[in-house]
Chains A and B, each alone.
Chain A
Amino acid sequence: MSITYLEAIREAQARALADDPRVFIYGQDVGVFGGAFKATKNLANQFPGRVLDAPISEDAIIGMSVGAALEGLRPIIEMQFADFSTVGFNQIVNQAATMFWRTTRICPITVRLPFGGTSGSGPFHSQTMETIYAHYPGLVVMTPASVEDAYSMLLEAVAIDDPVIFCEHKLLYYHLKAEKLPTEALPVGKARITREGRDMTVVAYSAMVHEAIAAADELALEGYQIEVVDLRSVKPLDTDTVMASVARTGRLLCVGESWPWGGVTAEVVARVTQEGFGLLDAPPQRLNAKDTPVPYHPNLWAAHRPTARRIAAAARNLLRQ
């Protein structure tokens, strides 16, 4: 038996609903239909009255979940595509994210964002939104890269007393598989060294972890050992694990699927430069998507985002320095 990244997300929600009577799911088409990606398949039948179809009103969807959280419930919100969360942005960053600090009242909502590029999805169904949410205080931003993490981190997201932006990568939904669901997990806030190596550190998160591993495989044939760090959550960002890796390798390449201005890769490079300048044998590097909207055609899309080939090329440049 094997389980996909998407099935793990469904199973985590089923378990959260079964274990905690305060949990409910709210989002567009999540009810009997089971969601645009089937992440809530059968849940409406299994948990009557707790999996609700919402009108196309992202602002009101988040607003309502905040109110329900204030009454002690644990809402899981599915944004049909992360891109559409911009319509609910105000409620996320100004209502949910400020609630605890302003009032001492917790606001435990989990906002699931099916995010990231897939071929043929174009400018409005492909965006990665982690940068913009990580910028705001009061939010936890998770970016699981594995089936196991998708499952355990989603359960932890529901349990956490703060608003969580759960970025699940659409490209991983169907293709990424594991043998079984995990029984234990790293705590949220800890990065994982997915692949050990001594020559260079590649920091990545979400789907880019897999591109980084493929690049590391390619470079292994050339005799280089590349260490790949999976951030798992971009906020909090586990600087300690990154620094420890850079201390061993002396070289840093940070890879993100989001746009190049600012963001997670810039944050990682800034922190390592500020706190670990002496550890670096070469200038730290960043690799991001191009600074345009995400293109539609597969040829353009493949050239827009960082791929294993581009990562390997950037790594070779850095290894030569």
Chain B
Amino acid sequence: MFETVLKPGAVGEDSRFRETYLKAFRWMVLARILDDKLASLYRAGKIHGGVFLGRGQEALSAAAGVSLQPGDVFAPLIRDAAGRLAFGEPVIDAVRTFMGSPLGPMRGRDGNVHRGRIDQGILPMISHLGAMISVVNGMLWAKRFNGKKGMVGIASIGEGATSTGACHEAMNQAAIEKLPLVVVIANNQYAYSTPNSRQFACESLAERAVGYGFEGHSVDGTDLSACLNCVGDAVEKARSGGRPQLIVAQLLRLCGHGEHDDASYVDSRLKSNPDFRDCLKVAEDELLERGWANDELISGWRAEAAKTVEEAVATTQREAAPDPFKEDWSALSTRHLCEGHD
């Protein structure tokens, strides 16, 4: 979708990196604008249920999304709008799912971040943290069983999910089966309101990689260049038959857990800590500094992204709400085995 570059660059690695960087940056911009719009719709009472944003996590998320190829698997975290978009999820899927449109992928049956496109390898998460990792394992295992090669799966989780038994079981399982899995942990310092100090006691979650038989990496999650390099390398290692990979990114959630949450519990020292800058601003500064874009070009990208989001919202708002009388209340695909009570 995004092919624009400002000027022809040097040949080889640098130009490829620049292209990837520009693509990732534009997905970050689109994700931020989409999230901002969803937040406005929530405040205007247009969205039922929660709204969960990825503000401050777009660099890591976009890096994951652009590292994947068709045939790969992505199990996103609730803050992965950027990665989803980069891996091919249309903007309107997000809007329709948040607004409960029957034309969305979840048809009003499930909402907000619980959406996916299984045919394209995007898994619709359940709410239970850590539970998607073993499902990614199963998809990778089955692809290999079916004779496919060269695929990768990314399971994206937060530091909170690392405390679950499901996460432990699935990481151990992936290593046993030698699966091309990359677990990306966004350590955004808080699991809802619980700080790192009440979540784990090891120095860094990346240390756990050794115990599982993974290769571990730490990265500055606010730095798009670092994220692209780290995630890109890990994905390529997994794709080419290396051990499963664990990436731990340090960043700060620049919003509440959901839009209902004012995040007053976030330590003010973290907010002012230069290590936890806004990744979008950091990326924009780098773009300008490297001369890969100018203000005018970036403004154009923003305007284009805003138009895409506004169009998706306008389309969705014209769509009828789900009709309970037309709903097929069958939880089984085998219709004659449904109990059939109204």
Contacts and interface: CB of A to CB of B under 8 A. Distances in A.
Answer yes or no: do A and B interact. yes
B164 to A, nearest CB: 9
| Majority-rule SS of B interface residues | helix
Interface string A72-104: 110100000000000100110011011011110
Interface string B126-157: 11100111111111111101100000000000
Interface string B160-174: 000001100110110
Contact of A60 (B106, B118, B124, B172): B172
B105 interface: yes
Nearest to B340: A236
B336 interface: yes
A189 interface: yes
Given A55-B169, A63-B166, A102-B110, A138 B146 contact: no
A66 B135 contact: yes
A188 B332 CA distance: 14
Contacts of B128: 90, 94
Contacts of B169: 55, 57-60, 63
A68 interface: yes
Contacts, number: 138
B94 to A, nearest CB: 16
Contacts of A237: 339
Contacts of B334: 140, 160-162
B336 A189 contact: yes
Contacts of B268: none
B139 A68 contact: yes
Contact of A67 (B105, B139, B337): B139
Contact of B339 (A94, A102, A236): A236
Nearest to A102: B110
A48 B142 CA distance: 15
Contacts of B176: 55
A69 interface: yes
B141 A64 contact: yes
Contacts of B118: 70, 103, 105
Contacts of A55: 169, 172-173, 176
A283 interface: no
A239 to B, nearest CB: 9
A72 B128 CA distance: 24
The CB with the most chain A CB atoms within 10 A, among B136, B140, B333, is that of B333
B271 interface: no
A305 interface: no
A86 to B, nearest CB: 12
A235 B105 CA distance: 28
B193 interface: no
A237 to B, nearest CB: 7
A64 B137 contact: yes
A95 to B, nearest CB: 6
Nearest to A87: B165
B178 to A, nearest CB: 13
B166 A71 contact: no
Interface residues on B, range: 35 or more
A61 to B, nearest CB: 8
B337 A162 contact: yes
Given A57-B172, A103-B105, A138-B331, A70 B138 contact: yes
B142 A94 contact: no
Interface string B297-339: 0000000000000000000000000000000001111101111
B114 interface: yes
B134 A102 contact: no
Contacts of A103: 105-106, 116, 118, 124
Contact of B173 (A60, A73, A162): A60
B109 interface: yes
B139 A160 contact: no
B123 to A, nearest CB: 8
A236 B338 contact: yes
A59 to B, nearest CB: 5
A63 B135 contact: yes
A33 to B, nearest CB: 16
Contacts of A58: 169
Given A67-B140, A189-B337, A94 B126 contact: yes
Given A55-B172, A140-B334, A189-B337, A67 B146 contact: no
B172 A59 contact: no
A162 B134 CA distance: 19
Contacts of A138: 331-332
A6 interface: no
B273 to A, nearest CB: 36
B134 A59 contact: yes
Interface string B253-265: 0000000000000
A63 B339 contact: no
B112 to A, nearest CB: 13
B338 to A, nearest CB: 7
Contacts of B166: 59-60, 63, 90-91
B137 A97 contact: no
Contacts of B109: 101-102
Q: Which 8 A-B pairs have the closest CB atoms?
A: A67-B138, A63-B134, A71-B142, A57-B169, A60-B169, A137-B331, A64-B138, A138-B331
Given A70-B139, A102-B110, A105-B118, 14 more contacts: A55-B173, A59-B166, A60-B134, A60-B173, A63-B138, A63-B169, A70-B138, A94-B126, A94-B131, A103-B106, A103-B124, A160-B334, A162-B337, A189-B337
Interface of A: 24, 49, 54-55, 57-73, 75, 87, 90-91, 94-95, 97-98, 100-103, 105-106, 137-138, 140, 160-162, 188-189, 235-237
5 contacts: A60-B133, A60-B172, A63-B137, A66-B135, A103-B116
